[in-house]
């Protein structure tokens, strides 16, 4: 993005152009080319028109990720891609505030999604960002949301953190897919992260981080949003006696957490009860399936698989609950007959620990009924089995 054109957007005529661009984009049915033609027919500089329309387009895209406030914010395409989802950033900011931290230094703030979340809960923030345009965008975001805070252009490794209670870093990763964990892709580098974690810090990392890379005395928190594992955050400096935490956030922002303090460490293994629970991926990555089993007074169907069973239905955000309607043998002929006899058609297939490709099995079963159903194929202490289940709210 052109830095001078972005700066222009923040001026009074630039804000007017942005307003015109919003209107032109809406009136042309989100046709950026037609909107650009209409705006250029006025006396506007084409670079300014392009910058304004980029913001309009990115704002619309950002609302899903960052909520309604995104309609007033500014973005770069990469900055939006890298930004922490709003509800995750809010959860983190709330934790930081609840831990009593008042002054936060954000090293590598990007467009500032985490930064504005921290400022929004009353934390005094200062950020450093090495890309000047991105830094200008983060600064503009604080101002656009009426928040106080400062952003300077600089290198994370050259900052003095002594004036702050806590340092936050969300290193950029060259492999932006995020699930894999390769310390060599981190910027600032992984060695810098390790140094930060000897002080009071929070560092956002890829959720694929191996447990062995989490330093001693540091809490690793795996976070999922709307059923999708998003990130891990490493928390150092707060001696809470917790090493592993899973936090599950739903689309409304409601949050549930479980930690190793809730975890008996193992669970009994037994046959299928009245209910089966499928723990959220954050719970699985945090190795806290046995904590969920304890919470629902349940047991595992197999010591190595993340299915919990119980005779108790306890609704929980940490695991999806299913009522078990029937247990069928994992034998295709018998399964087909049983499902056809029930008039089943559309079939959701979940499986763990068994060799089966759901799409291929669905095709081979050739069900033509109209009743939708869900099956879970899993190992149990006695044999592999197919559980005919009903998802519970
Ligand atoms: C993943 S983004 C941060 C996203 C941010 N947490 C958010 O939610 O919007 C990482 C940022 O760190 C910046 N960065 C990378 N290495 C840096 C360094 N050594 N010093 C300062 N900033 C750096 C990148 O330019 C990038 O904007």
> Among 72, 89, 122, which residue terminates a domain?
72
User: Are 66 and 99 part of one and the same domain?
Assistant: no
Q: Is 188 in the pocket of ligand 1 (CB under 6 A)?
A: yes
- 129 within a domain of the structure (yes/no): yes
Specify the pLDDT at position 176.
54
Q: Is 141 in the pocket of ligand 1 (CB under 6 A)?
A: no
> pLDDT tens digits for 77-135?
999 999 999 999 999 999 999 999 999 999 999 999 999 999 999 999 999 999 999 99
Question: Are 218 and 234 a contacting pair, CB within 8 Å?
Answer: yes
Q: Is the pLDDT of residue 211 over 80?
A: yes
> Among 32, 50, 72, which residue terminates a domain?
72
> Among 258, 290, 313, which residue terminates a domain?
258
Specify the pLDDT at position 106.
98
pLDDT confidence bin for 182, thresholds 50/70/90? confident
Q: What is the pTM of this model?
A: 0.94
As to burial, measured by CB atoms within 10 angstroms (0-12 exposed, 13-18 middle, 19+ buried), residue 269 is middle
User: Are 323 and 183 part of one and the same domain?
Assistant: no
User: Are 290 and 372 part of one and the same domain?
Assistant: yes
Q: Is 267 in the pocket of ligand 1 (CB under 6 A)?
A: no
Q: Is 120 in the pocket of ligand 1 (CB under 6 A)?
A: no
Range of the structural domain that residue 352 is part of: 275-391
What distance in Å separates the CA atoms of residue 247 and residue 317, rounded to the nearest whole number?
A: 9
CA atoms within 13 A on the CB side of 131: 18
As to burial, measured by CB atoms within 10 angstroms (0-12 exposed, 13-18 middle, 19+ buried), residue 237 is buried
Question: Are 344 and 372 a contacting pair, CB within 8 Å?
Answer: yes
Average pLDDT of 147-156?
Answer: 98
- 264 within a domain of the structure (yes/no): no
User: Are 95 and 10 part of one and the same domain?
Assistant: no
Specify the pLDDT at position 43.
84
């Amino acid at each position: 993005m052109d830095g001078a054109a972005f700066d222009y957007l923040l001026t009074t005529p630039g804000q007017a152009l942005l307003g015109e661009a919003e209107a032109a984009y809406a009136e042309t049915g989100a046709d950026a080319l037609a909107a650009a033609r209409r705006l250029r027919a006025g006396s506007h500089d084409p670079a300014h028109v392009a910058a304004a329309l980029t913001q309009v387009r990115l704002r619309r895209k950002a609302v899903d990720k960052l909520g309604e406030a995104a309609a007033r914010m500014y973005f770069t395409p990469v900055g939006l891609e890298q930004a922490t989802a709003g509800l995750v950033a809010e959860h983190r900011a709330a934790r930081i505030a609840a831990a009593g931290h008042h002054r936060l230094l954000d090293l590598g703030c990007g467009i500032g999604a985490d930064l504005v979340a921290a400022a929004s809960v009353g934390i005094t923030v200062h950020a450093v960002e090495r890309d000047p345009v991105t830094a200008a965008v983060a600064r503009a975001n604080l101002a656009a949301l009426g928040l106080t805070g400062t952003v300077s252009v600089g290198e994370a490794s050259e900052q003095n953190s002594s004036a702050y209670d806590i340092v936050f870093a969300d290193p950029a990763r060259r492999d932006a897919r995020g699930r894999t964990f390769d310390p060599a892709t981190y910027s600032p580098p992984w060695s810098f992260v390790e140094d930060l974690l000897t002080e009071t810090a929070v560092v956002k990392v890829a959720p694929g981080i191996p447990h062995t890379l989490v330093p001693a005395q540091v809490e690793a928190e795996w976070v999922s949003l709307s059923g999708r594992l998003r990130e891990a955050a490493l928390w150092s400096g707060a001696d809470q006696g917790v090493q592993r935490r899973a936090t599950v956030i739903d689309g409304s922002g409601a949050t549930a957490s479980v930690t190793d303090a809730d975890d008996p460490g193992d669970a009994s293994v037994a046959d299928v009860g009245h209910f089966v629970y499928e723990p959220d991926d954050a719970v699985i990555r945090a190795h806290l399936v046995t904590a969920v089993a304890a919470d629902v007074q349940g047991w595992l169907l197999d010591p190595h698989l993340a299915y919990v069973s119980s005779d108790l239905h306890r609704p929980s955000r940490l695991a999806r609950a299913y009522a078990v309607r029937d247990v069928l043998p994992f034998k295709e002929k018998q399964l087909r007959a049983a499902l056809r006899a029930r008039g089943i058609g559309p079939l959701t297939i979940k499986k763990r620990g068994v060799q089966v490709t759901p799409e291929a099995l669905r095709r081979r079963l050739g069900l033509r009924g109209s009743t939708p159903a869900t099956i879970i194929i899993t190992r149990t202490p006695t044999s592999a089995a197919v559980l005919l289940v009903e998802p519970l709210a």
